[in-house]
Amino acid sequence: MSSTPATSSTPPSCAATTSPTRASAGDVVTGRRVVVTGGAGFLGSHLCRALLDAGDEVVAVDNLVTGSLENIAPLFSQAAFTFLHHDVSNFVYVSGPVDAVLHFASPASPIDFARIPIQILKVGSRGTQNALGLAKDKGARFLLASTSEVYGDPLVHPQPETYWGNVNPIGPRGVYDEAKRFAEAMAMAYRNHHGVEVRIVRIFNTYGTRMRPDDGRAVSNFLVQALAGQPLTVYGDGSQTRSFCYVEDEVRGILALLDSDHEGPMNIGNPHEFTI
């Protein structure tokens, strides 16, 4: 499948964590208070760092099924950072005011599609509803991390946001595709019926620091094999193409969307394709 956007220290143990964990000292936060679900994941951890650097207070929520405390270990020393060990497929409670909810909780690596398919569907449905419920209760803006996978095996190149896609709901990637399609529908329903301010980012291939070595996508596979001195595995005849966006560029785009007046889906990724 080739999808291209038409637009452009040891971490603390979480075993006994049942309530938010806060640093005990630091400067007063004057920015927004932002909840990031999936905050210990690859992309979520970069978002947490960027938000903190911008002067925002961050509450990261993660069940650590695919996320890692190592990803957010440097953030625990900051007074503006809170970590909540929690599965958002269950009811989400965050005390105090919240200005924005960024819903990034979901296994997103191809290796997970066969390993934990039910969890993927649950976080896309129940998890999205719970995150939207939090945004509704707090009067917060909601940003959904969706994906280019909603386009499936596209028959249109590049894909504009108006393209409905070509998805096989029972294919090997179907659980992820359909979880995100449902999440988008849920988000727009909350916008239309409850007045929640919704932003939807359709994320294309992203790479960078903190990627899981077993991610299962081309960049991580190539790096792991190269570092091990192994031949690079190319599936197919090498003519297939992919677009790749560096994680810090992706994060800048996501935060620009969060702060924009644009409602509805927005593709964010590299519009240029490379052969594999």
Longest dimension (CA), the chain: 56
Phi-psi label, residue 211: left if phi above 0, alpha if psi -120 to 50, beta otherwise? beta
Contacts of 135 (CB under 8 A, 6+ apart): 98, 100, 101, 141, 142, 190, 196
| Residue 143 bridge partners (DSSP) | 102, 199
Tally the residues of the chain: 276
Question: Which residue matches tokens 């727009």?
Answer: 188
For residue 200, the tally of other CB atoms under 10 A from its CB is 24
Contacts of 254 (CB under 8 A, 6+ apart): 47, 102, 143, 145, 201, 203, 268
Is residue 176 part of the annotated active site? The answer reads yes
| From 93, 151, 163, 176, active-site residue | 176
Cα separation, 61 vs 86, whole angstroms: 6
Cα separation, 84 vs 87, whole angstroms: 9
CB 134 within 8 A of CB 187: no
User: Catalytic positions, please?
Assistant: 176
